[in-house]
Amino acid sequence: MSKKIKELFEKGLYESILAEQIDVNDAEDLLFNILSLEATYKYEEALNEYYKSREKVEKWDLISSSKALFFLLIYFKRYDDLEKEKEHFKSLPYVNQKTEEYLNGMDEYLKQLKEYFEQSDPNKDASINNIKEMLSSGVKEEKLYAIKKLFELESQGVSCKDVVVNYLETNMSFDSSYSLLLEYAMYAKVNKRITFKKKNRYYSIIPGDYYTYVSSFEKLLSSKLKEMSMTEKNISIFNYVSVIARPAFIYCLPDEIEENDLDSFIGALIKSACKMYSVSLNDDNYYKELNITKNKMDKYSDIVAIIESEY
């Protein structure tokens, strides 16, 4: 398993790693899983996974694992825990010369890491205000760019949670930008009630209630895409599906896709891809193997069409 996981990590396919059934007895797999959670901004999950498997991952690669932990503790500003962990690592028995040199230089490393978080954006307030302005501009491209910048700030330890919640509370019109911010709120376990209008219907939800659904379904979706990558012969169709699948899934929120409707969802994506590339749907062997319900696929096709027009 480790060779496969390592190859996925080197290619930057972090979501595919998270969709894998990680061997809990394989320290390398566990470490790649933690690093993939960090790479996809799932910092709380990464920290939880680290503490569950720290003995194994530290024994496997003390340097990489400790750096992953330090990043998370500084991101969450848990400085008391940071000091305790620093002493923990310094008290460990000798491993090898490379590790010893790293431990001896740990204070300088942590200083530089803190400076990264503190100085990566010297104008944080201005950046946040700029994001607010772009989100309220009403211009689709500006809103999507603002969301990109928002996640960049998050990766630097700057929480944009208040910006997201304020936007969701003060805007009721559901579009692709709203859906992306709603997903953010679900992962952030926002416990405030949000009301919005989608297709002439009003919804009132608490985003945090959807955390388990979105996190588990995205793993299921990644697994399906991985299966498709090994079966779909037309690379253009696979590339299209892999790009559109996640935003289309997010756009379905707060409606949930049942696991037995996933084939119909993928079928809608393949149908749209075949139309785009002038390929006969009946010639796609992967599509033929899907267990599709036509009325469900038609419903998802409407959403795919919206995503095509907005992205």
224-264 per-position pLDDT tens digit: 888 888 888 888 898 888 888 888 988 898 889 999 999 99
The whole-number pLDDT of residue 119 equals: 62
In this predicted structure, the answer to whether residue 2 has a pLDDT above a threshold of 70 is: no
pLDDT score of 67: 92
Per-residue pLDDT of 121-172, as tens digits, reads 556 677 788 888 888 877 777 888 888 888 877 776 677 888 999 999 998 8
- Other C-beta atoms closer than 10 Å to the C-beta of 266 total 24
Please report the pLDDT score of residue 111 as a whole number: 85
State the Cα–Cα distance between residues 221 and 15, nearest whole angstrom: 9
User: In degrees, to the nearest 5, what angle opens at C-alpha 119 toward C-alphas 115 and 121?
Assistant: 150
pLDDT at residue 253, as a whole number = 86
Q: Give pLDDT tens digits for 89-106.
A: 888 887 788 888 888 888
Give yes or no for residue 206 having a pLDDT over 90.
yes
Label residue 216 by pLDDT band (50, 70, 90).
confident
Rounded CA gap, 282 and 90, in Å? 63
Output the pLDDT for position 123: 62
Mean pLDDT of the chain: 85
H-helix or E-strand spanning residue 195? strand 194-198
Query: pTM for the complete prediction?
Result: 0.61
What is the CA angle 144-145-147, rounded to 5? 65
